[in-house]
């Protein structure tokens, strides 16, 4: 999870992006990025990885419904996989909805 101010989240994303760039392995990064796809703080990761929701989801994909009901801040990003499906699912005892994603290795 990326947390803190937008500046801190950007720094965290940049650190993750550097590690991903160094690796030749397939990558799956999933979780609460506290950032919509349009926020600058998730850009370093989005520049390197594919967004499963964008590839196979339908609709807006809103995952956060506590205080801001229309936000997609939970993500599954990947490299080296093909997204077969992506859907938002209800989760009990959470202020977030879940993402159910099916990925298939490309190699």
Q: How confident is the model at residue 36 (pLDDT cuts 50, 70, 90)?
A: confident
**pLDDT for res 83:** 98
Percent of the chain with pLDDT over 90: 58
**Residue 21 within any structural domain of the chain:** yes
**pLDDT for res 3:** 63
Domain that holds residue 16: 6-105
**Residue 1 within any structural domain of the chain:** no
**Residue 60 within any structural domain of the chain:** yes
Query: Can you tell me the mean pLDDT for 40-62?
Result: 93
**Residue 45 within any structural domain of the chain:** yes
Structural domain tally of the chain? 1
Q: How confident is the model at residue 76 (pLDDT cuts 50, 70, 90)?
A: very high
**Residue 73 within any structural domain of the chain:** yes
Sign of the torsion formed by the C-alpha atoms of 86, 51, 95 and 59? negative
**pLDDT for res 65:** 73
The CATH number assigned to the domain holding 29 equals 3.60.10.10
- Per-residue burial over 28-61, b if 16 or more Cβ lie within 10 Å, else e, is ebeeebbbbeebebbbbbbebbbbbbebbbeeeb
**Residue 53 within any structural domain of the chain:** yes
Q: What is the mean pLDDT of the chain?
A: 90
């Amino acid at each position: 999870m990326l947390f803190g101010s937008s500046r801190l989240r950007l720094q965290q994303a940049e650190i993750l992006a550097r590690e991903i760039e160094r690796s030749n392995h397939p990558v799956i990064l999933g979780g609460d990025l506290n950032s919509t796809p349009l926020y600058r703080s998730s850009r370093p990761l989005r520049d390197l990885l594919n967004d499963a929701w964008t590839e196979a989801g339908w609709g807006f994909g809103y995952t956060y419904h506590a205080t801001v009901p229309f936000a997609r801040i939970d993500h599954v990003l990947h490299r080296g996989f093909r997204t077969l499906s992506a859907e938002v699912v209800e989760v009990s005892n959470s202020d977030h909805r879940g993402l159910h994603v099916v990925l298939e290795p490309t190699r």
